[in-house]
Amino acid sequence: MKSVHLIALLACTFAANAFAASATDASNKPIDIKVLAVPCEACHGKDGNAIADQYPRLAGQYHDYLAQALREYRSGDRQNPIMGGFAKPLSDAEIDALSRYFAAMPSKLHDLSHDEQGD
């Protein structure tokens, strides 16, 4: 039983190291997510829930969806003049860090499960 715990602990340590090792920007400097996210917060909000209706809420969305969107803005597969400009300079590790950061925030997104349909 003890060895199972040890293996689990080692696995976590390796996983944490793997993430720390990849969390560098294009010039190999460690990513400071609080600094990296500052420009994004101007529209998407400090809490990830957007400052106005025309901006999507990022909080609580799947991180891999957010990362996919950012990669597509960067490559031009998804066209948006604002986001294209913000995504262009991002490295893969920065996209991953930003996506995880906003995805982990408490969301004000809601679905229609509590809405009444018809009369």
Measured from the CB atom, the residue of 9 and 82 that comes closer to ligand HEC is 82
Measured from the CB atom, the residue of 4 and 112 that comes closer to ligand HEC is 112
Q: Give residues 80-99 in contact with ligand HEC (rule: CB under 6 A).
A: 80, 82-83, 86, 98
Could you tell me which stretch among 8-16, 17-25, 39-47, 107-115 binds ligand HEC (CB under 6 A)? Answer: 39-47
Q: Least Å distance between CB 54 and ligand HEC?
A: 6
For residue 76, give every residue at least 6 positions away whose Cβ sits within 8 Å of its Cβ, in sequence order, or none: 84
- Per DSSP, the residues of 61-102 read S-HHHHHHHHHHHHHTSS--HHHHHHHTT--HHHHHHHHHHH
103 binds ligand HEC (CB under 6 A): no
Measured from the CB atom, the residue of 31 and 58 that comes closer to ligand HEC is 58
Could you tell me which stretch among 1-9, 24-32, 40-48, 104-112 binds ligand HEC (CB under 6 A)? Answer: 40-48
Single out the residue of 62, 48, 54 nearest to residue 107, CA to CA: 48
Q: Which residues pair with 24 in a beta bridge?
A: 30
Measured from the CB atom, the residue of 16 and 88 that comes closer to ligand HEC is 88
Residue 32 φ/ψ region, left for φ over 0, alpha for ψ in the -120 to 50 degree band, beta for the rest = beta
Residues 73, 16: contact at Cβ < 8 Å?
no
